[in-house]
Structure 1
């Protein structure tokens, strides 16, 4: 089972989420992917995620998290004990997202949502100061990320498997070339 967690202002319609879904469908594993629309509240987002994976044994679960979803994936992986792939993950989103308090829209629609001040405290409550088992993590970080500093990611996931992309961007525009490696880490056959 794979749980895909999108980033801030994103959705299951993001390029990376769609590519993971398409590959899982091609492999006949559509029922093994959960890719929910996360609420703006970090607390509610994690309650939703936990409800969706309830009863799935840790050894049968992998979480793929992009940006803020990577922050969430880290918190969940620490709680559940499963594997996690982190795609340009946020490391300290309470600092980065403070400037986004207020009403904004999602990237893949014009649907408005409100990011409330209390969500910053909810983010802090999910902080993982140090990962406990680096071997359960796979970091893909781009040096050209225009939103987050890849060096923070590298330091935070020290000891984990890491693929540092020279250049690229926050979205990891060339994600298709890393998809097989991501799914392989998740324990999914990579070729359709």
Structure 2
């Protein structure tokens, strides 16, 4: 698991790529070779990012078919059909809304990652980072679980040692102050 700000930066890049490619397809008189495929791939890549950043769903009427929960990523091609009530500007506006929300979350995330709290979060995130980095095969999953448990024990031990050190430092500071006041 990467830092939340890095994940959000990737999400923004995916959403912007989809929006830019879709706009190029919509605005251009004749699509360049491979553009439709690029838009489809970008839609797939950005689908989760759109959902993660409060991308809204809306009903889309295509001819006689009504899709109650459509997203720009799943129904972008409908924007080019005359019988659809989904227009290209709605697709772009919905994606821009998700990009704006992601940028807001990015700023908040960067603030939270600063200082001691961010350092502690990074240390506590380490076992899950390790498990996520391991591949999907059953043997790798078992190894990742074992390493994750060991990592959690190590993180717990380190957190306990740091906590005890902070308490010891506070006691020592109290003793020094009270001795100086006597």
- Assess same fold via TM > 0.5: no
TM-score interval for Structure 1 and Structure 2 normalised by the shorter chain: under 0.3
Larger radius of gyration: 2
Structure in which a larger fraction of residues adopt helix: 2
TM-score (norm 2): 0.23
TM-score under structure 1 normalisation? 0.23
